Amino acid sequence: MDLFGVSMIIPLLSHHVKALGASPIVSGVVGSTYGVLQLFSSTLVGSWSDVVGRQSSLLTCLLLSAFGYSLLGMSTTIALFVLARIPVGLFKHSLSICRALLSDIVSETERPLVMGHFNAASSVGFILGPVVGGYLTEHEGGFYMSSFVCAAIFVLNAGLVWMLPWNEILNQRLDANRNSKSRQTFDGLRNCDGNHHGSPSSTKTCRSLGSLCKDWGNMALLQLTSVGAQIRMVSSSDMWDVFLVRLLMALAIMLYHSNFSLAMEERFDLKPKVTGYMISYSSMLGALAGCLVGPMTRLYRGNMSALLLHSTAITCSLIFVYAIAGSVWHVLLSSTFFAISTSVGRICITDLELQRGGSAKASGTLIGAGQSVTAVGRILAPLLSGLTQEISPCGPPSLGVLLALTAVVLLLVRTPKWAKMKDKKAKE
């Protein structure tokens, strides 16, 4: 439901900004505001969810995101458009918090399979969303109607989160922690939101901290200190190579998708409705790919770094096919396999981040840090897309090919070292 609402909006943003009178470069600068906000907020919100609990953070993010999309439905100028993107950029982290929650309640061996199913469910939203958005945009006020529908969906999601059986979720989480050797006891401070009641020691810790945090100022200071500790732990870890691969591939994939609707219109004279069908088709394949991650992981015997290398190489080749496509059928061919390779790659890089960073300690912080890296791509991609599109409609994917090729070379160099590190930890 989350991505159904968002996917109605994303393909229409470039059209709407253009309708407001912005040039491609100005459109790129405006589009980068979302990425700038995500850069600073992703890690903070992820770490905050570790401290206050998943339910409280999810409710906050969903309701404030709904407010942002409501403002987007009233944006009749570029200034109002930028203003509407601020709350969304700061608090659109619902999917990241859900991934952290899944990481909490499943064992490490089950994580790729469960994350694949989660991504499959998420991709289903993109099957109908672009089609609905494409139909609405062909009518007067269609973009504004899509924005208000998206806001209503986020409010509905907040209600569903409120009704989730959080006590059962905690029991499943504790069972997963006991059954996984890599998991450690969670810090009791993170569970003092009233939704987590575990062992007697953690309950006692929560009660003692609750008596100290009656004053809202002290509670805010305590949360801020805990968030800072989580972020320092992640920043001191040696994960630059994983984050760099994520950044390069995020840029390459975003350049593939950037102004896709406009590019199809300029290169092949396709209407937004037809482009919406193509995006939905790719999303359907991405959903199916999420269900294939489990068998693929077993085929690779849990070697996620090798699976990431192969999926990245395939993604690079498919972006190249899209860049030189001479007909719509070539684009359709590239998008068919592109949806599968990118879906597998996203699951692999997330699992590697949790493996390298120690998922039991701060899964929200780790996933948030990964999203912050992706946010850097959201900042740079619209700017690079605007500049390269001034040269040619094929400029953005051509640059994406170079970035993806760089990621492949980096993986070729670093994958053997990751394998040695994994073997060393297994012996310990």
Q: Tell me the per-residue pLDDT of 341-375, one tens digit each, with 9 for 90 and over.
A: 888 888 888 888 887 766 445 677 788 888 888 87
Mean per-residue pLDDT, 372-390? 81
pLDDT, one tens digit per residue, over 234-247 is: 655 667 788 889 99
**Structure token digits, residue 17:** 């900004």
Per-residue tokens: 84? 């509407």
Q: Is 153 exposed, middle or buried (0-12, 13-18, 19+ CB in 10 A)?
A: buried
When computed from its CA atoms, the radius of gyration of the chain, rounded to whole angstroms, is 22
Q: Which of 339, 259, 265, 276 is nearest to 128 (CA)?
A: 276
Distance CA 45, CA 344 (A): 25
What is the per-residue pLDDT across 87-102, written as a single tens digit (0 to 9) for each? 998 999 898 899 888 8
How far apart, in Å, are the Cα atoms of 264 and each of 26, 347, 393? 21, 29, 9
Q: What is the pLDDT of residue 203?
A: 43
Question: Cβ distance 279 to 287 under 8 Å?
Answer: no
Q: Which of 27-36, 73-82, 211-220, 333-342 shows the lowest per-residue confidence on average (mean pLDDT)? A: 211-220
Euclidean distance between CA atoms 144 and 165, whole angstroms: 35
Give the up-direction half-sphere exposure of residue 183: CA atoms within 13 A in the CB hemisphere: 20
Between residues 358 and 284, the one the model is more confident about? 284
* pLDDT (average), residues 417-428: 62
Q: Classify each residue of 300-323 as buried b or exposed e, where b means 16 or more C-beta atoms within 10 Å of its C-beta.
A: beebbbbbbbbbbbbbbbbbbbbb
Q: Is pLDDT of 213 > 50?
A: no
Q: Is the pLDDT of residue 216 over 60?
A: no
pLDDT band at 183 (very low <50, low <70, confident <90, very high): very low
pLDDT score for 317: 92
Q: Which residue has the higher pLDDT, 265 or 194?
A: 265
- Quick check: pTM over 0.85? no
Is the pLDDT at 82 greater than 60? The verdict is: yes
Mean pLDDT of all residues in the chain?
Answer: 77
What gap in Å lies between CA 237 and CA 232, rounded to an integer? 9
Contact yes or no for 317/358 (Cβ under 8 A): no
Based on the number of CB atoms within 10 Å of its own CB, is 19 exposed (0-12), middle (13-18) or buried (19 or more)? exposed
CB 339 within 8 A of CB 286: yes
Determine the average pLDDT of the residues in 284-305: 79
Domains of the chain: 2-427 (1.20.1250.20)
The per-residue pLDDT for 169 is 65
